[in-house]
Amino acid sequence: MAPTPYLVNHDHYRRLISQLIGSGVMLDEGMLCWYARLSARYPTVELRIGDVCPTVDEAVLVGAHWRAAHDGLEGSAVDLTTGELRPAWDVLYQLVGRLGPALERHGDHTEVTSLLETLRQHGTSAARQRSAYARTGRVEDVVADVARQTRGEAPG
């Protein structure tokens, strides 16, 4: 089960469903495991009742999960200590700060902070892929760029 992705309109939804079925990821539309989806048989929206959050705190967590999937680290994130939206990087640094003593105790603090700084400097894989696509407009170039990074080379 996963949050429903950001979809621009009904055509975008239909194209995505067709791609998922066409690629073999799903056999049919009934296999779509999102919290909310369009019914394949009726003109309604289905909410996955078995996965409904019975408490406000759980609903906030689902919202935070959706927001993270939608915006990534370039956008906003739900600060689970306040329930308010803040820049995602600020929320992440606050979390690392709270975990600092445990990270230090296990010898991971330097590695975690170093990896986060590298991520902040170069962007997430999704951001780099969007950037590669924006430069050329070709999916092939995005794939080639990811392959270069996998080999340890700098992005194109």
Q: Please give the pLDDT value at position 49.
A: 67
Structure tokens at 95: 């979390």
Q: How far is CA 20 from CA 11, 17, 111, 138, in A?
A: 14, 5, 37, 21
- Average pLDDT, consecutive stretches of 10 residues, N- to C-terminus, the chain (156 residues): 85 92 86 87 83 73 77 85 88 94 96 93 89 93 93 83
pLDDT for res 36: 86
Q: For 35-78, give the DSSP string.
A: SEEE-SSSSSEEE-GGG--SSHHHHHHHHHHHHHHHHGGGSEEE
Residue 91: is it exposed, middle or buried by C-beta count within 10 angstroms (0-12/13-18/19+)?
buried
HSE (side-chain half, CA atoms, 13 Å) at 149 = 16
Q: What are phi and psi of 55, to 5 degrees?
A: -125, 160
Cα distance between residue 100 and residue 94, in whole Å:
10
C-alpha to C-alpha distance for 123 and 117, rounded to whole angstroms: 10
**What is the model's pLDDT at position 121?**
92
Give dist(CA 94, CA 96) in Å, integer: 5
Number of Cβ atoms within 10 Å of the Cβ of 26:
15
- Predicted local distance difference test score (pLDDT) of residue 74: 87
